[in-house]
Amino acid sequence: MERLSYLRLLVLVVSVGCGGAAQASVVLLDDYSSSNSGNYVSYVWGGSPAMTFSVTNGTLAPIVHGSWIGSGFYWNGGATMKPGEGVSAIIQADAFNVQARASYIGLCLSTSTSSQNPFRFMADYDKLVDSETDPVVWQMYIAENLWGEQRTAVTASNMSPNTPSLLTLMRGTGTDQATITWTLSPQVAGYGLTGTGTVSISGLTASNSLYFGPAATASTTVPQPTWENLTYYSVPEPASLALLFLGAGGLMLRRRRAG
């Protein structure tokens, strides 16, 4: 009977440990209720001027000056995306301008905060192909540094100016650790962007952690896009699980000696 109790305890601990390993911890890094500029490192791409941002009423919005520019910030507050981890933010694409275009708005990934040309995952209302006859659609625009790009059409339901959608980037594990899965989902029933897809970051290994943060291309000619709630999804470290099992083993040994 005593052995059965120990066995049940062990099964319970293993179940809790495995469940914790399967579910990522959710950490709200920045709700933009105040400025956390000390936790960000700025970047630009394509020779663009640096973009500055303002924090107002729980949102982060780019401040631009004149022509279209693109840039953003890496989060530098200690969290980086490792295999099995992810990041998300609520994004609001701006209203259409007279050319039926919208500013690009999303998140970026990079192996270094010194990189000025990160991977950019941004929602946009534009043409899937740069052609006069191609229709304008809502899309996920993915740019790899300054070279390759990928455009994927997404579903847009009842899109009105500043409709919030959740953009989530999740990194794979094992043989898929270089694969990033992006997902767009509405934040208000019946309104927002819906879609998913994957992209592989060439040369990425388990030893490479990814920095992340907001990314935008915007202009003063259209209302500005915004971000809310930069959120990090972490995976419990193996060492934490080992301590859990070690503690359970010690408890069982103590109970046996006491008996």
pLDDT over 70 for what percent of the chain? Answer: 73
pLDDT of residue 177: 96
pLDDT surpassing 70 at residue 243: no
Split at pLDDT 50, 70, 90, the class of 111 is: very high
In which band, very low, low, confident or very high, does the pLDDT at 70 lie, cut at 50, 70 and 90?
confident
Give the pLDDT confidence score for residue 159 in this predicted structure: 82
Mean pLDDT of the chain: 79
Report which of residues 64 and 149 the model is more confident about: 149
Between these two residues, 48 and 248, which has the higher pLDDT value? 48
pLDDT reading at 235 higher than 60: yes
pTM of the entire structure? 0.81
Structure token digits, residue 246: 């070690």
Tell me what the mean pLDDT of segment 177-196 comes to. 95
Task: Label residues 193-219 b or e (16+ Cβ within 10 Å = b).
Answer: bebeeebebeebeeebbbbbbbbbbbb
Residue 246 banded pLDDT, cuts 50, 70, 90 = very low
Q: What is the pLDDT of residue 238?
A: 54
Query: What band does 223 get if pLDDT is binned at 50, 70 and 90?
Result: low
Query: Which two tokens mark 171?
Result: 């990194």
CB within 8 Å of 186: residues ≥ 6 apart:
157, 163, 164, 165, 166, 192, 193, 194
pLDDT of res. 96 = 59
**What is the distance, to the nearest Å, from the Cα of residue 1 to the centroid of all Cα atoms in its chain?**
50
Q: What angle do CA 189, 199, 41 make, to 5 degrees?
A: 85
Residue 100, pLDDT score = 53
Half-sphere exposure of 132 (CA within 13 A, CB side): 0
Res 90 pLDDT > 50: yes
What domains, with CATH codes, occur in the chain?
25-234 (2.60.120.200)
Q: Per-residue pLDDT for 104 more than 90?
A: no
φ, ψ at 84 (rounded to 5°) = 85, 0
The pLDDT-based confidence of 69 (bands split at 50, 70, 90) is: confident
pLDDT > 90? residue 256: no
pLDDT at residue 55, rounded to an integer: 92
